[in-house]
Structure 1
């Protein structure tokens, strides 16, 4: 059947299961937005107020579901406005699909100065994504969409980008849609590597599991492995919730530092292990087993004792099966690990205030299956280890990119993906204003996100460093803010101000019950540093 280039792109996206797109219209996308209009109720379009908002929403959608988050923006400055979100997606292995327009075909590479022209947009996008390409014909568009999905979802998931010139989007030709993309098979398990890992684990006296975002694929089998070994599971950000924090086997990140000191065999599952390798350090007697779907990750920092190039979904059940035949039943460590968890949590609650109390208030108001989105702020840093998580993907962070201001728009994408679940995000007064304009999107689409804004009128982390490292010479770290409640109300969003954890609990609970967009401001002073529980000295003397 005859299709426009835009219709071929959209049709193939929908063949691959896409039913939600975030975007902002513009000249080079006119045909694509018209195609989305033609899709009717088969497609949800969330129009945003800034390109970065569209990309962050797609990022939140992908991070909280594991499914592709798709956004569409104009080329040049439009797509450049989305690159912080693409960096975050790359860092956190999020399957984000960027679909962008392009200048007319006749102008490509000539530097004429067409609207939104970049010297080489495709080359730029290839530095930020796993794969990027350009669709130059209507007939070739479906295959390129499929290739984008194959690249994005095979092996280590990461963002991709596809562009199409505006004239090709409007051209018509006979273009058949293809079956959905075929995702590459996971690497075959190496039986020898599995056997080597089993041999180490069979004699391990104090095994420990470090779980990253790649551990999510292991599902319930990870908890089964941990129980067999009586091995505590420690996660920092992305792997949290794979083993519920209700289990004694799931230990806070600071507790992991204590457990590391006595560990003899460590399984690094779908994690870069940068905290352990770069800060805690690996002593000669410790044997590390790395399991990762990305072969380059296995020895990026240091070579492990055993390297298993595999999907966690395959490797962990294989370990469970092999260990079942050779491993003696181990005595429960529940009392020991419960006491450790209580001691560390008590230490955090004593030393990291008021963050710990405010996080406890949010946690008690948020249902177990609710989603929490952090931000680069004092409460956010603390949440990496002090906010209990009960299911995978239910805490959303931007990973090592530390993308200040990402949180609000990202949380809108999380709520768009899970309209029937509670979603709460936190923000600081500095980062919130990066995407606070998207309150217009929340109001327009009735995205019932509850936002807790901690306001101390400064970039506190920057100011702390200026005081501690630069003799108190302050510059650009004090902020002049609007009246945030009036600001939210100007968009038609209900807002209130609370000053205690108890009042915050009530406000969050009531806002979730109203099921409409809400802003809760918490005026506060300086907060205790959360960093002593994150950045730790080497756990062993003399180990570099």
Structure 2
């Protein structure tokens, strides 16, 4: 078919099953936005008020679905405005596609000073993504789009970028669209490594499983493995919900610290295990089995006793099959593990207030299949270990990147991906204003996100450190805020203010029932530090060279 470069890009994106794009129009994207207009009801376009909002929404879409989240922005400053979201996607293994325009092709590399020109945008994007390339003809677009999708879906998922000069987007040529991209199969299983892991586990007295985001595709088999071994499963952020927190085998991160002290064989499943290696420490007697689709990750910090380079979805069922002929039925640890969970939760409820009570209120209002999006704030830190999660991908975080202010726009992307599910996000007064302008997007598109804003008029984490580490020399940590209720109402969003957990529970329940955008402000004072349950002293004095 004869089509423009922009039509070729969009046609191949649609061929790969994408039906939602987030973006902001501009000169170098005029042809692409016209192509989206002509796509009609084949596509949902969410126009945003800032490039970072578009990228974070694509990030939320990807994090909550596991499918590629696509956004489109102009080059230069438009692309650079999205890089915090790309860093978050890279940190959390989220498949996000940045689709961007470029200056006219005749000017590439010449430094003439075209609108939005960067010295070398493609080189910049290659430092921030798994893969980046440029389509220089309409006919090249389908194969490059497919390569972008192949990169996102094969191996370790991470963000990618594809650009096309504005004149190429407008040029017409005969173009053949392709079938959707073929995703590479995972690495072939090493039967010998599976056997060695099974032998270690068959003699383990206190096995423990550390599950990260790479374990999500292996949930059912992981449940079977954990039950066979009576091995508790501990997750920190991305792995939460792979085993429902209703199961006694699912243990909170602080409980995992206690279990670590008795563990003799540990499976690291799709997890970087940085907390365990760097902080808890690995003693000489402990044997670690690492299962990861990223071969470089397996011994990045220390070499494991057994390394299995594989997709968890392949490796865990194979491990279950191998163990089934080796294990006798093990005594249930349910009572022991329920007691541990209750003791740790009680400790959290005593020491981390008011966060624990507010999180309990939100959990009570949120349906079991509802999504919770955190923020870099005191309540957010606490949610990593204290908010019950019942399904994978239902606790959304930005991982180790810690991108303050990411939460609101990301949550809009989660809700756009799941319009029929309840989505609640939390915010602090400091981070909220990073993307609060996207309340305009929520109102315009009717994105029924419920936001709980905790307001103490400060960057509390910064101020705590200034008080504790720098003798109380406070600088730039006190904040002057707007009236957030009036601010939200100015966008046409219903807003209210509550002062205690029970009032918050009722307000969240009512807002979810109304199914429209909502902001609930919670004025609060300083909160207890959540960090003693995250940053722990070494569980052991020594660490072996091989774990």
2:300 partner SS? coil
The 5 Å alignment of 1:501-512 reads: 501-512=501-512
Deviations 1:314-355 (A, max 9, x none): 000001111111101000000000000000000000000000
| CA displacement at 1:540 relative to structure 2 | 1.1
Which residue is equivalent to 2:477? Answer: 477
The 5 Å alignment of 1:118-133 reads: 118-133=118-133
| CA displacement at 1:541 relative to structure 2 | 2.5
Matched residue pairs, number? 544
1:328 partner SS? coil
1:424 aligns with 2:408: no
Deviations 1:182-208 (A, max 9, x none): 111100000000000000000000000
| Preserved CA contact (<8 Å) 2:135 2:164 | yes
- Tell me whether 176-185 or 345-354 shows the greater mean CA deviation: 176-185
The 5 Å alignment of 1:435-514 reads: 435-514=435-514
| Preserved CA contact (<8 Å) 2:282 2:542 | no
TM-score normalised over the length of structure 1: 1.00
The 5 Å alignment of 1:127-142 reads: 127-142=127-142
| Preserved CA contact (<8 Å) 2:281 2:542 | no
| Preserved CA contact (<8 Å) 2:207 2:231 | yes
Give the distance between the partners of 1:425 and 1:495, measured in 2 at CA: 14
Q: Structure 1 regions of 5+ residues with no counterpart?
A: none
2:289 partner SS? strand
1:386 aligns with 2:375: no
1:219 partner SS? helix
Deviations 1:354-392 (A, max 9, x none): 000000000000000000000000000000000000000
Give the distance between the partners of 1:157 and 1:508, measured in 2 at CA: 34
Which residue is equivalent to 1:526? Answer: 526
| Preserved CA contact (<8 Å) 2:290 2:307 | yes
1:496 partner SS? strand
Give the distance between the partners of 2:521 and 2:140, measured in 1 at CA: 50
Deviations 1:60-84 (A, max 9, x none): 0000000000000000000000000
Which residue is equivalent to 1:322? Answer: 322
Which residue is equivalent to 1:13? Answer: 13
1:412 aligns with 2:412: yes
Which residue is equivalent to 1:46? Answer: 46
Which residue is equivalent to 2:301? Answer: 301
Give the distance between the partners of 1:377 and 1:53, measured in 2 at CA: 19
Give the distance between the partners of 1:334 and 1:450, measured in 2 at CA: 36
| CA displacement at 1:219 relative to structure 2 | 1.9
The 5 Å alignment of 1:166-177 reads: 166-177=166-177
Which residue is equivalent to 1:60? Answer: 60
RMSD after superposition: 0.5
Give the distance between the partners of 1:141 and 1:378, measured in 2 at CA: 45
Which residue is equivalent to 2:535? Answer: 535
Give the distance between the partners of 2:217 and 2:504, measured in 1 at CA: 35
Give the distance between the partners of 1:411 and 1:150, measured in 2 at CA: 26
1:307 partner SS? strand
Deviations 1:426-452 (A, max 9, x none): 000000000000000000000000000
1:245 partner SS? coil
Give the distance between the partners of 1:326 and 1:209, measured in 2 at CA: 19
Give the distance between the partners of 1:397 and 1:543, measured in 2 at CA: 30
2:138 partner SS? coil
1:29 aligns with 2:29: yes
Q: Structure 2 regions of 5+ residues with no counterpart?
A: none
Which residue is equivalent to 2:347? Answer: 347
1:312 aligns with 2:312: yes
Which residue is equivalent to 2:212? Answer: 212
| CA displacement at 1:217 relative to structure 2 | 1.1
Give the distance between the partners of 2:82 and 2:364, measured in 1 at CA: 34
The 5 Å alignment of 1:178-197 reads: 178-197=178-197
| CA displacement at 1:542 relative to structure 2 | 3.8
The runs of 4+ residues in structure 1 deviating greater than 2 Å are 541-544
Give the distance between the partners of 1:161 and 1:497, measured in 2 at CA: 41
1:139 partner SS? helix
1:101 partner SS? strand
2:419 partner SS? coil
